[in-house]
Chains A and B, each alone.
Chain A
Amino acid sequence: MLHLILFLGFGAACVAGAVNLLAQRHPINSALSLVVVMGALAGEYLLLGAEFVGAVQVIVYAGAIMVLFVFVIMLLNAGEEELTKGSRVALLFGVPGLVAGSLLVAWVLLHSNTGEVAVGALPGPPKAIARLLFHDFLLPFEVTSVLVLIAIIGAVVLAARPEPPQAKRES
């Protein structure tokens, strides 16, 4: 019972944050509501017994990535977005499509005979995760390190200020 109440509380915070992200016009408000979503998701992970994932969610997602976003928003001094007129064709096909899609998903979810998940059903201690990560998933782990290196180099190259023309070397 307590599990259900906590699930509904964190889930309501998640959905409220996500809807607020859509409703807000200023990017900084959207970014801060995404922080709310990520914090509530960390709570859901704790309910599922994935403590380590929850901690990493707060540190990496809500901490590092969102700070990057907020920095860029403030750096670019992004103002409110202008509203543009939506197309009528999108409204005509989009709304029935949305209704049909959500009904289909709801039907599948309600008729799939899935079991229940208990609190801490699968304890995710850092030790077990580390054994899996550094043993069975060692190659993907190393490949992601290369990916991160490429991303760092790419970010530095892309965000670097283009050098002024007179400083350009004649080749």
Chain B
Amino acid sequence: MIITVASGKGGTGKTMVAVNLALVAASQRPGVQAASGDAKMLSRYDTRPLLLDCDVEAPNVHLFLRPTITGQEEVVLPVPEINFERCTFCVRCAEACRYNALAVVREQVLLFSELCHGCGTCSLVCPEGAVREVPEVIGLIEEGAASTPLADLDFAHGVLEVGRAIAPPVIRQLKRRIRSDGLVIIDASPGTSCPVVEALKGADFALLVTEPTPFGLHDLRLMVEVAREVGASGRTPLPVGVVVNRDGIGDEKVDEYCQSERIPILMRIPFDRRIAEVYSEGGLVIEALPEYRDQFRELYQRIREEVNK
């Protein structure tokens, strides 16, 4: 099962929800619960949940999980390199590039590699065979495992290089780590465009975190639209559920909206200054404030029910 945690608006608590949800899910696996005394040893024989941080522009999960990184992999994009012995400056490559990454000025071909999507069209259209594609590093993938007193998790994240524009290739490469069995929880970036779509593709459930304010509602509506579009294009529809974070700070309009759209509100996290404090230090809510443990367990349970509906 793949659960993607998303929100149109930033800062609603995606990462906090994703990390704590992943940990309660990990602690609840049958093997782990049965052997409460020796949970960690047993868990090595099971598939541990995988938490993927797909917010490659601003990845933050590692700040809370403090994982041990055991593997690294560069993300490269094939960008054009012009062989000027063959190039006739016919301009076809620049005309074909939809991303304006190539320009021909007199006897020169200029490459704006930060705009390149690595599609390879330029080399396809060059009649002289003068365009060769060479790999350029645009990001990094790191993977490893996190061990907390509550449970163990597998972890991986992508880091887009500063100054680079195109995040989806990093997300795509990161998502190759998804195994068909076991639980995968994905922390998406804010927004509603390509990186979010990339993070939502193939998910079994979209968990949308919002706050009860006009900004939260406005962006939740957009996010529901995105989830529906992604679901409609995939092989199976994408069910959605909502977490209302900082419940009580604003108005009732998120509730009214969810009711009218028949979207289940699966959890309400009250506005609690202690959560903000734990979060600010990179702490785990379910560890520092155990009273929230059951609520996250219930959230996980309700997601499973929604997926199996």
Q: Is B a genuine binding partner of A?
A: no
